[in-house]
Chains A and B, each alone.
Chain A
C-alpha cells in the first residue's frame, strides 16, 4: 500500500507539474489549476489502476453534457472549461490505452 501511495504521489506530482506547464506555462487561472489537477488525477489513476479508465471516460462524457447546455446558454467560458477538461481526459485516456492500440491496432475492451 505504501508503495502504491508513493507511486501515486510521484506520478501525480510529475504529471500535475507537466500538465500545468503544458496547459498554462505556470501562469494559470484558478479553473486551469483545477483542470490540471483533474487531468493529472485521472491520468495517475489510469496508470496505476487501469480499471479506472472506464470511469474516467464516463467522466469525460459527464463533462461534455454541461458543455453543450452551457454553450447553448451562451456561457462560453464555462462551456469551454467543461469541454476542454473532457477532451483532456479523453486524450490522456488514449495515452493510457496506447500499449493496447500499438499491440492490436484497436482496443479490445475498456
Chain B
C-alpha cells in the first residue's frame, strides 16, 4: 500500500464508519423483501449452499446459483465463529462494501488519469459511494448481489485494464481473486453479462481509440481471450451447474410474455431524464419511500448539477485522447441501461422475442445500470477538471474552491437519507428485524429431540401457515415482511415453509396446506399427507399475519392440529406451537410401497388425488406407459356454440351492414388499450391480427355476396397467412383479457363464412382453408373436436374435456366439490353430456364430496367428453331493479350480498345498466378479509370503474370475478356512484362457477396386492447423497420423498452387481419413485448427479489457479532478473 493512499483510506473508512453508526444506531438488523435475512446466519447458509440441491428448503430444489454465495459466507461464517452477532455481521458487510466502493473508485481514477488527479479521485470515490443510484438501486433495493458487484467493479476494471495493457499475469490473478471475493454478485446471473459486456467495451476502446494497427488489436484480442478463458476455468465450478440446470428452471419461472411485459413496464419508468440522474423513479417519486421532500421543485433541480458536470465531461472530454473513449462508453451504457425507453429501445424487445436467455436483462436499469455510477463518476471527474481548469485563471481560486465545495455538498445532500440512515424500507418505517428469542428456543428443542434421527431416520419440519409464494409477513416486534426465513432459523431439519414458483411442487404444497383447513378432510388423509411429505414436526406460527392474505386463520389450524391423534401434545415457545408426529406414525424419507394408483395428474392438483386414491401411493408415469387408475383431463376449456340460425342472422348483418364490423368486434378492439397498458406486446399483436383477419374474411364475403364479384384470391391468401400467424404464435394470449367464448364465437363465424363461400364458389381452396382453421381451433382449444358448423348442438355453453385413456375399460365419471354447501347440487341429478360426439344423459349420485355421474366404457386413446358449463342459480339475495343516486355531496351506492360464499370461489356477474348522470360507475367486490392501509383505503379485489355515458341506452355487462380470497366467509357486490350521478341497474345476477375437478376413475382397479414385507435402513450422508440397505419380498416401488428431479439417480447393488432402475416415476405428485423389479436384499445409493459437476469444476478451478500462480511467480522472477540485468 502506497503511503500517499493512506489519507484516502482513512477518509473513506471514516465516512463508512460514520454511515454505519447512523444506519445501525437503533441496534437492529435490516431484513425482509426478496432478500430475507441474508447475513443472519452465514454458517447455516454455507451449510445449505455448498450443495446444489437445497434440502433445507424442503421438499428440496436445485439452486445452483447458491454456489456463488460460498466465498462470502465462508469468510463471514469465520466471523460468526469468532462471536460476531447478526448485527455485527451485517454492519461489517455494509462497512466493507462502502469502503470498497469509495476506495476502489479512488484507485480507478488514479489508474486511469494519473497521480495528479488524487484530489479528484477522492471526490470521485465519495460520489461513487453516495449517489442516487447507490442510494436507491443498491442500498434501498437491498439486493445483496448488487452490493458485491458495485463494490467489486472498480477493482475488477483496474486489474483487467492492467492485464490488457501490461500483460502481467499477476494482474490477471488479482482480477480473478477480486472476482472470487465478489462472486456473490453473480447470484444474479445477469451480472455475468454486465461484467463481460463492460470488459468487452473497455477492451474494444483500448484497441480502437486510437487504432494502432492489427498487431496491437491481435495482441489485445489474444489477451482478452486468455483472460476470459481463465475466468471461465476458475469459475467453472458454479458456472456449469447453473447453466445445466437454470435455463429450464428459469423458463418455468418466467414466460416470454411476462419478461416482455416486465421490460416494458420498467422501461416506462426509467426514461431518460431519470436515467441521467441515476434515479429509480418508482421508489423515489411513486412510492415516496424516501419521503415527500423529493417532490419539491428545488430538490428536483439538485441532480441536474451533477448531470450538467457529466455533460461537460461528455462533450468536452472527446477532445482529449485520455478521456474521449469514456464519452463513447458512457453513451453506450446509457443506451443499454434505459431498456425500451426512447431512443433506440426496440432492440431489447427484438432480442428478447427471439432469444429467450436475454430475458435475464428484463430490468436493464438494474442489471446494466449498475455500470452507470462507474461511467458517470469518471465523466463527473473529467467535467469537474475541465470546469476547474477553465475558471481557475478567470476567477479567484478560493472562490472557485468554495463554489465547488458547495456544489459538491449539494449533490451529496440530495442523498440525505443515506446520512440519516433512512434508506432501508420506507423513510418513516425502516425494515428493522428482531427475530423473537422463541425461534431459537424452538429450534434448539427440535435439534435436541431430532439429533438421534438426523442420519438414520431423516424427517422434515412443516411450517404452518404455508405460503404458496416465497414471502410471508410476521407480526414480530419490529415486524417482518419478505422471504420466508424458516429454513435459516430452523437449522435442525429441512423446512417445508414456502412455495418455489415451480408449478408442480407448489401445487403439492398447496394441497398439503389445504389439508389443515378443509373440514372435509379426515384424519387419515392428513396423516397420509404428512407421511408422504416426510413430516416429523409441525411448527404453527401464530405470529403470521394472515388477514387479507392467502392464509387461513392460525387458530383454525390449531384446533385441527390439537385433535389429531397421531400428533404428540404441542410444545409452546412464545407464539410458536410445535407438534411432533409420533414415532409409530412417522414415515421415513425413503419408503417402499406396492399399494399404489397410477395417476395422470391434473394441471393444478389440489387435494383430490389424495382423497380419491384411498390411501395408496400415487404414482405418475412421466413416459405415459403405465395404465392410470385416476385420469384427469389433459385439456379442459369452455366455450359457447351458437345455433346455426343465429350465426346465419349475424353473418347477414355483418355482410350487408359494413359498419357493423367494428360494433361486433368491439369486445376485442377495446382490448387493444388493455394490452397496451399491461405491455402485453405479443398479445396485442395477435389480437390485432385477429381483428384484421376477421375484417378481411368479412370483406371477402361482402365482395362475393353483396357485390357479386369473383373470389379475391390475394385477399384470401392474406387472410390465410394472418390466421396461420395467429396459430403459429401463442394464441392462448387472445383469451387473457377476453372470454374464451368471445374469441371462440369470432372463429366460429369465420368457419361458417368459409363454408358458405366454399358452397357458393365450389372452391377447394376455401374448403382447405376452412378445414385448416377448424383443425387449428380444435388444437388450440377454441371448439370441440366434434364441432360441426351449421349443425345444432344439444349443449350451448359447454365444458370440453379431453382424456387420454391408457387401456380399454369401464370408467366412472366423477365431479368433485370443495364447498359442502353448494346451492346447486340438485342440478347434477341429471346431466346431458356428449361423449365423442354422441349425446348421453347421466344420472348423478352424490357421496360425501364427490358426485358420480355413472359409468362409461372407453377404449384406449383420446376421448372427448362435453358437459354443460356448471353454474349455480343467482346467488344475490335481493336482485331488485334499482335506481342509484349520489345526492348532493353524498356518494350513491347499492350493495348486494352473495349467498353461500366460501373462500376460493369464483363467480360470474351480469347486469344491465343505464346511466342518467355522470360518466360511469364503480363496481366493487367487498369481502370480510379486505384490509385497510394507513390512508384508510381498502384492498378490494375488484374495484373497477365502468365508463358509460348518459347518451348510451341500456348496456349489458357480463364478466367473471377473480377467485375470492381463501379465507373469505362473506362477500358483497357494490355499485358506487360519485355525488350527483345517477344510474339504473337491472337484472343483476351473480352465479358461482364450478371449480371442482372432473375426472375418470377406472372400475375394478382395486386388485388386492399381496401384503408386502419390506425393510429400509438409511444413511443420510449429505443433502445430495443417501445410501442404505433394502429388503423386499416382492417387486415394489422405492419412494424417495424429495422433490422430483431427473438427476436423482438410484443405484441398486445385489451380489456384487450394480444396476440402475430403467424408469423414474413421479410419486405423490411431487416426489421420486423407482420400480424395483426383483425381490431380494439390496444395497442402494441415491445421488443427485449434478453435484459431481461442482466437484469436477472445483478441481479444474484449483488447477487453473495453480497454473496462473505458478506462471505469475515465474514471470515475476524473470522481470526481477531482467531489471537486475538492466541495472548492471
Is B926 part of the binding interface, using a Cβ–Cβ cutoff of 8 Å? no
In whole Å, how far is B684's beta carbon from the nearest beta carbon of chain A?
Answer: 9
In whole Å, how far is A19's beta carbon from the nearest beta carbon of chain B?
Answer: 7
Q: Interface with A: B339-347, B374-382, B1052-1060, which one?
A: B339-347
Instruction: Flag if A84 contacts B346 (CB, 8 Å).
Output: no
Is B334 part of the binding interface, using a Cβ–Cβ cutoff of 8 Å? yes
Instruction: Flag if B344 contacts A101 (CB, 8 Å).
Output: no
Instruction: Given A94-B327, A102-B208, A105-B209, answer yes or no on A32-B342 (Cβ-Cβ < 8 Å).
Output: yes
In whole Å, how far is B687's beta carbon from the nearest beta carbon of chain A?
Answer: 13
Instruction: Given A64-B311, A88-B344, answer yes or no on A83-B318 (Cβ-Cβ < 8 Å).
Output: no
Is B272 part of the binding interface, using a Cβ–Cβ cutoff of 8 Å? yes
Binary contact track B337-356/A, C-beta < 8 Å → 1, others 0: 00001111111011000000
In whole Å, how far is B697's beta carbon from the nearest beta carbon of chain A?
Answer: 24
Cβ contact of A97, chosen from B211, B318, B344, cutoff 8 A: B318
Within 8 A of B (CB), among A66-110: 67-68, 71-74, 76, 79-81, 83-85, 87-88, 90-91, 94, 97, 101-108
Chain B's closest residue to A83 (CB) is: B272
Binary contact track B305-323/A, C-beta < 8 Å → 1, others 0: 0000001001100111101
Instruction: Flag if A23 contacts B349 (CB, 8 Å).
Output: no
Binary contact track A31-65/B, C-beta < 8 Å → 1, others 0: 01001000100000000000000000100000010
Q: Interface with A: B296-304, B514-522, B761-769, which one?
A: B296-304
Is B998 part of the binding interface, using a Cβ–Cβ cutoff of 8 Å? no
Instruction: Flag if A104 contacts B334 (CB, 8 Å).
Output: no
In whole Å, how far is A97's beta carbon from the nearest beta carbon of chain B?
Answer: 7
Contacts of B984 in A (CB 8 A): none
Q: In the complex, A79 Cα to B271 Cα: how many Å?
A: 9
Contacts of B1124 in A (CB 8 A): none
Q: In the complex, A87 Cα to B346 Cα: how many Å?
A: 16
Q: In the complex, A91 Cα to B346 Cα: how many Å?
A: 16
Instruction: Flag if A22 contacts B342 (CB, 8 Å).
Output: no
Contacts of A104 in B (CB 8 A): 210, 321
Instruction: Flag if B273 contacts A107 (CB, 8 Å).
Output: no
Contacts of A35 in B (CB 8 A): 342-343
Instruction: Flag if B324 contacts A91 (CB, 8 Å).
Output: no
Q: In the complex, A85 Cα to B272 Cα: how many Å?
A: 10
Is B328 part of the binding interface, using a Cβ–Cβ cutoff of 8 Å? yes
Instruction: Flag if A105 contacts B350 (CB, 8 Å).
Output: no
Instruction: Given A71-B273, A94-B328, A106-B319, answer yes or no on A101-B342 (Cβ-Cβ < 8 Å).
Output: no
Contacts of A88 in B (CB 8 A): 342-344
Contacts of B318 in A (CB 8 A): 94, 97, 101, 106-107
Q: In the complex, A90 Cα to B300 Cα: how many Å?
A: 24
Cβ contact of B345, chosen from A23, A81, A97, A107, cutoff 8 A: A23
Cβ contact of A79, chosen from B209, B273, B345, B350, cutoff 8 A: B273
Is B331 part of the binding interface, using a Cβ–Cβ cutoff of 8 Å? yes
Cβ contact of A71, chosen from B211, B300, B321, cutoff 8 A: B300
Cβ contact of A80, chosen from B208, B273, B334, B681, cutoff 8 A: B273
Q: In the complex, A35 Cα to B342 Cα: how many Å?
A: 9
Contacts of B343 in A (CB 8 A): 19, 22-23, 35, 39, 84-85, 87-88, 91
Task: Tell me if B's interface is mostly helix, strand, loop or mixed.
Answer: helix
Is A10 part of the binding interface, using a Cβ–Cβ cutoff of 8 Å? no
Cβ contact of A25, chosen from B210, B341, B342, B349, cutoff 8 A: B349
Q: In the complex, A35 Cα to B344 Cα: how many Å?
A: 10
Contacts of B276 in A (CB 8 A): 83
Instruction: Given A76-B271, A84-B271, A103-B211, answer yes or no on A21-B346 (Cβ-Cβ < 8 Å).
Output: yes
Instruction: Flag if B208 contacts A90 (CB, 8 Å).
Output: no
Q: In the complex, A90 Cα to B331 Cα: how many Å?
A: 8
Task: Tell me if A's interface is mostly helix, strand, loop or mixed.
Answer: helix
Instruction: Flag if B321 contacts A25 (CB, 8 Å).
Output: no
Is B335 part of the binding interface, using a Cβ–Cβ cutoff of 8 Å? yes
Is B325 part of the binding interface, using a Cβ–Cβ cutoff of 8 Å? yes
Q: In the complex, A70 Cα to B204 Cα: how many Å?
A: 37
In whole Å, how far is A30's beta carbon from the nearest beta carbon of chain B?
Answer: 13
In whole Å, how far is B397's beta carbon from the nearest beta carbon of chain A?
Answer: 28
Q: In the complex, A25 Cα to B272 Cα: how many Å?
A: 19
Q: In the complex, A73 Cα to B297 Cα: how many Å?
A: 7
In whole Å, how far is A35's beta carbon from the nearest beta carbon of chain B?
Answer: 6
Contacts of A81 in B (CB 8 A): 342
Instruction: Given A72-B297, A80-B273, A104-B210, answer yes or no on A91-B327 (Cβ-Cβ < 8 Å).
Output: no
Instruction: Given A76-B273, A104-B210, answer yes or no on A68-B321 (Cβ-Cβ < 8 Å).
Output: no
Chain B's closest residue to A103 (CB) is: B210
Chain B's closest residue to A78 (CB) is: B273
Chain B's closest residue to A39 (CB) is: B343
Instruction: Flag if B271 contacts A80 (CB, 8 Å).
Output: yes
Chain B's closest residue to A22 (CB) is: B344
Instruction: Given A39-B343, A83-B272, answer yes or no on A91-B211 (Cβ-Cβ < 8 Å).
Output: no
Chain A's closest residue to B209 (CB) is: A105
Instruction: Flag if B272 contacts A72 (CB, 8 Å).
Output: no
In whole Å, how far is A66's beta carbon from the nearest beta carbon of chain B?
Answer: 11
Cβ contact of A102, chosen from B211, B297, B319, B320, cutoff 8 A: B211
The interface centre, meaning the residue of A68, A79, A87, A90 with most chain B CB atoms within 10 A of its CB, is A87
Q: In the complex, A91 Cα to B318 Cα: how many Å?
A: 13
The interface centre, meaning the residue of B211, B345, B346 with most chain A CB atoms within 10 A of its CB, is B346
Q: In the complex, A85 Cα to B341 Cα: how many Å?
A: 11
Instruction: Flag if A72 contacts B335 (CB, 8 Å).
Output: no
Q: In the complex, A14 Cα to B311 Cα: how many Å?
A: 30
Instruction: Flag if B341 contacts A87 (CB, 8 Å).
Output: no
Contacts of B320 in A (CB 8 A): 106
Instruction: Flag if A84 contacts B342 (CB, 8 Å).
Output: yes
In whole Å, how far is B875's beta carbon from the nearest beta carbon of chain A?
Answer: 43
Contacts of B344 in A (CB 8 A): 19, 22-23, 88, 91
Q: In the complex, A25 Cα to B742 Cα: how many Å?
A: 29
Instruction: Flag if A87 contacts B210 (CB, 8 Å).
Output: no
In whole Å, how far is B145's beta carbon from the nearest beta carbon of chain A?
Answer: 28
Contacts of B272 in A (CB 8 A): 67, 80, 83-84, 87
Q: In the complex, A79 Cα to B273 Cα: how many Å?
A: 7
Instruction: Flag if B331 contacts A106 (CB, 8 Å).
Output: no
Write 13 A-B pairs (CB below 8 A) sorted by A numbering.
A23-B343, A25-B349, A35-B343, A81-B342, A87-B331, A87-B334, A88-B342, A88-B343, A91-B335, A91-B344, A97-B318, A106-B318, A107-B319
- 16 further A-B contacts with Cβ under 8 Å, apart from A22-B343, A25-B350, A84-B343, are A19-B343, A23-B345, A76-B271, A76-B273, A79-B271, A80-B273, A80-B341, A80-B342, A81-B342, A83-B272, A88-B344, A91-B343, A105-B209, A105-B321, A105-B324, A105-B325
Which 6 pairs, one residue from A and one from B, show the smallest C-beta to C-beta distance? Answer: A105-B210, A88-B343, A84-B342, A80-B271, A106-B324, A83-B272
Interface positions of A (Cβ within 8 A of B): 19, 21-25, 27, 32, 35, 39, 57, 64, 67-68, 71-74, 76, 79-81, 83-85, 87-88, 90-91, 94, 97, 101-108
